[in-house]
Structure 1
Amino acid sequence: MTSPYIFIRSGIDDMKLKLGKRLKAIVDMVDRCGVAAEIGTDHGKIPVYLVENAIVQKVVASDISGPSLEKAIRLAEKAGVQEAVDFRLGDGLKVLRPGEADTIIIAGMGGDLTVHMLVEGKDIVGDAVLVLQPMKDDSLLRRCLIELGYCIVDEDLAEERDKIYTIIKAKKGHMNIKENIFLEIGPILYRKRHPLLWRYIDYKIGLMKDILRQKEDVDLAYKIREMEAMLNELKMS
């Protein structure tokens, strides 16, 4: 006979928020901690998931858009986790007190904007673990992290709706990337031989060739050759 307790738990689990592949890859990078912060929460799915699954005790969810924040508040209320989510309207990391968050998530923004936030808010971040999902310019973001004194400790790729997204996890520490190609590709993605990596490199090569067709760039042409060599290596391994 099925235990009534197991039946009830199953019903509760079925009601929990389900995430797409991109957002699930992001939350999978978050360690269990006291306080996480999501900057630019938009729909609020990440904070709700983190609380529902007891990954964090509290989430600071911020957005520069009032309507987006209202949408996130409604989702948290529907899930019954609003008491554990602190909603804040504001720009970037300015919504946080220095050292307030154990983990800071910035997802769905350009790499250049993420870099701007991290540089501008470096005193606010403190020793927080960073979980970042840039929509573009991930090489710029990796370079910035190293210059700011971070070590990239994990990376992942997620495919959703014919797009491949990069997720980067970083902690305070020293990291030396000797070859610039690994700023583009991601040293941990390469070390893992991530199953989506060769397709992601192929996509990046396509973008670079589009740029090269518009203007001559010796450095870019060299980078393309490097990436093509690595792509052939991955396909053969």
Structure 2
Amino acid sequence: MSERLERIIASAGSCAVVCDIGCDHAYVPIELVKRGAAERAIACDIRPGPLLQARRNVEEAGLSDRISLRLGDGLKELKAGEAELVILSGMGGRLMEEILRGRLRDFQRFLLSPQSEPERVRALILREGLSIEGEEMLSEDGKYYLILQAERRKAGEEREEPPYSEIELLYGRELLLRRDIVLRAFLERERARYEEILKRTDKAEILREAWNLREALERYET
């Protein structure tokens, strides 16, 4: 199993029911149930082929009575409160935003790993009144991955936090505050890439993105 999936499993904590959206071959829910982190699991995917293989894997693991499989689009096959923890990974931030919009208040915790545009996911979480409880980055096979934990706080447990800046939405407040070394490596790689891009264009959008990168890297110097 890849380090990315292992880190997702390690970040899940314990829960009664976990739901993995876009489960592919159901490796994550199988491991969570096998390791005792979840009592039961729901594995959902929009594609019949991977879900068929997921069913075979669940049966081979002897967990058919504890893991249910559902064919469906995003969270449409999941009722509010049916799972305590919802996992989404292996998809872009724009698609993740579409799946989560209007459903964030239906579940207690989320474990999210957007492959692009994480600022969309962070902004949606904060707009819906959830809190970002933790973030980590890892590098595997030349790619960078983000794992984000979000939680709906119970009544009376809400806390006021200053609004996220544009830089914090892009790169993560917690990661920047602790000067995460994996994030820094990612930022350095992106800065080098943008230096090459800026030799060929001076579009305002590209200039803004390059400026944001410099601002983020300056957080490591202070």
Partner residue in 1 for 2:48? 66
Cα distance, 1:233 vs. partner? 5.0
Greater Cα radius of gyration, structure 1 or 2:
1
Contact 1:93 1:117 (C-alpha < 8 Å) held by counterparts: yes
Relative to structure 2, which stretch is displaced further, 137-146 or 59-68? 137-146
Could you report, residue by residue, the CA deviation over 1:143-173 in whole angstroms, capped at 9, with x for unpaired residues?
A: 1111121211100112111101011111125
Partner residue in 2 for 1:56? 38
Give the SS at the match of 1:93.
Answer: coil
Relative to structure 2, which stretch is displaced further, 224-233 or 70-79? 224-233
Q: Quick check: 1:162 aligned with 2:142?
A: yes
Going from structure 1 to structure 2, the CA distance change for 1:46 and 1:233 (only over 3 Å counts) comes to same
Q: 2:130 aligns with which of 150, 172, 188?
A: 150
Going from structure 1 to structure 2, the CA distance change for 1:57 and 1:159 (only over 3 Å counts) comes to same
Task: Tell me the distance in 2 between the aligned counterparts of 1:213 and 1:139.
Answer: 26
Cα distance, 1:91 vs. partner? 0.6
Give the SS at the match of 2:82.
Answer: coil
Q: Quick check: 1:182 aligned with 2:168?
A: yes
Could you report, residue by residue, the CA deviation over 1:50-75 in whole angstroms, capped at 9, with x for unpaired residues?
A: 00110010110000011101111111
Q: Which amino acid aligns with 1:55?
A: A
Q: Percent identity?
A: 27
Q: 2:61 aligns with which of 47, 61, 79?
A: 79
CA RMSD of aligned residues (A): 2.3
Contact 1:150 1:175 (C-alpha < 8 Å) held by counterparts: no
Q: 1:195 aligns with which of 178, 181, 197?
A: 181
Task: Tell me the distance in 1 between the aligned counterparts of 2:81 and 2:117.
Answer: 27
Cα distance, 1:120 vs. partner? 4.5
The structure carrying a bigger helix percent of its residues is: 1
Task: Tell me the distance in 1 between the aligned counterparts of 2:180 and 2:201.
Answer: 32
Going from structure 1 to structure 2, the CA distance change for 1:146 and 1:204 (only over 3 Å counts) comes to farther
TM-score normalised over the length of structure 1 = 0.82
Instruction: Name structure 2 gaps, 5 residues minimum.
Output: 154-159
Q: Give the number of equivalent residue pairs.
A: 216
Going from structure 1 to structure 2, the CA distance change for 1:58 and 1:153 (only over 3 Å counts) comes to same
TM-score normalised over the length of structure 2 = 0.87
Going from structure 1 to structure 2, the CA distance change for 1:72 and 1:106 (only over 3 Å counts) comes to same
Q: Quick check: 1:95 aligned with 2:81?
A: no
Task: Tell me the distance in 1 between the aligned counterparts of 2:124 and 2:190.
Answer: 20
Cα distance, 1:93 vs. partner? 0.2
Contact 2:167 2:215 (C-alpha < 8 Å) held by counterparts: no
Q: 2:117 aligns with which of 128, 137, 144?
A: 137
Going from structure 1 to structure 2, the CA distance change for 1:40 and 1:210 (only over 3 Å counts) comes to farther
Q: Which amino acid aligns with 1:117?
A: I
Partner residue in 1 for 2:156? none
Cα distance, 1:232 vs. partner? 5.1
Contact 1:44 1:61 (C-alpha < 8 Å) held by counterparts: yes
Show the 5 A alignment for 1:216-231: 216-218=202-204, 220-231=206-217
Going from structure 1 to structure 2, the CA distance change for 1:209 and 1:112 (only over 3 Å counts) comes to farther
Partner residue in 2 for 1:6? none
